[in-house]
């Protein structure tokens, strides 16, 4: 479990820190959109490309967010609980997350397969292929699933009273 935690955490931390700069890509796309609409002919691709960039930013940043514990948590009772009770609660809730992500990944893979098989395109004027963004979504869901398993393993180690490996890049 410790090796799994170490490998997955290191990988998702690296990807998350890389993807965090994707906000500048999206800002560049939207800046070009504003400039082209003001001074030139408007570009057809900018709005949809900004949406794709935001999806990639959000989905690939999800595992890093799970790892850092930056999700929203209602802390009415949780803050007062013992470490063992928190670990039990986290272990149970992360099981639901794993099931949810598994269903999402199954549906995402099915949608990606359809997109590849039939050459699915967006119904807009630009008409980009949909498989690239669907691939990124499937990758992000898969990484979130791996990170959720890592969090479950951390909770199991906490319940056993063992130390959790902490690595930095």
Residue 86 and residue 158: Cα distance in Å, rounded?
Answer: 9
pLDDT at 168 over 60: no
Lowest mean pLDDT among 12-21, 96-105, 125-134, 160-169: 160-169
Mean pLDDT comparison of 72-76, 77-81, 104-108, highest-scoring range:
104-108
Q: What integer is the mean pLDDT of 129-156?
A: 96
pLDDT at 81: 82
Mean of all residue pLDDT scores within the chain:
91
User: What per-residue confidence (pLDDT) applies to 137?
Assistant: 97
| Per-residue pLDDT tens digits for 18-58 | 999 999 999 999 999 999 989 988 888 998 999 999 999 99
Query: Which two structure tokens, joined as six digits, stand for 123?
Result: 């119904």
* φ/ψ (deg, to 5) at 82: -75, 165
Report the predicted TM-score, pTM, of the whole model to 2 decimal places. 0.88
| Among the listed residues 30, 35, 21, the one whose alpha carbon sits nearest the alpha carbon of residue 49 | 30
Distance (Å, whole) CA 24 – CA 105: 28
* pLDDT in the model for residue 79: 76
CB 114: neighbour CB atoms within 10 A?
A: 13
* Mean per-residue pLDDT, 99-114: 97
């Amino acid at each position: 479990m410790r090796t799994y935690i170490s490998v997955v955490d290191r990988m998702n931390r690296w990807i998350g820190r890389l993807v965090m700069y994707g906000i500048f890509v999206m800002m560049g796309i939207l800046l070009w959109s504003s400039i082209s609409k003001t001074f030139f002919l408007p570009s057809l691709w900018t709005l949809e490309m900004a949406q794709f960039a935001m999806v990639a930013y959000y989905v690939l940043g999800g595992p890093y967010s799970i790892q850092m514990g930056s999700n929203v948590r209602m802390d009415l009772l949780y803050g007062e609980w013992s470490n063992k009770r928190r670990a039990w609660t986290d272990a149970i809730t992360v099981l639901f997350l794993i099931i949810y992500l598994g269903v999402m990944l199954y549906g995402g893979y099915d949608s990606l397969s359809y997109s590849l098989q039939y050459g699915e395109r967006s119904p807009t004027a630009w008409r980009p292929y949909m498989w690239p963004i669907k691939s990124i979504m499937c990758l992000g869901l898969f990484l979130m699933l791996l990170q959720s398993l890592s969090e479950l393993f951390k909770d199991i180690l906490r319940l056993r009273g063992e130390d959790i490996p902490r690595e930095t890049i």
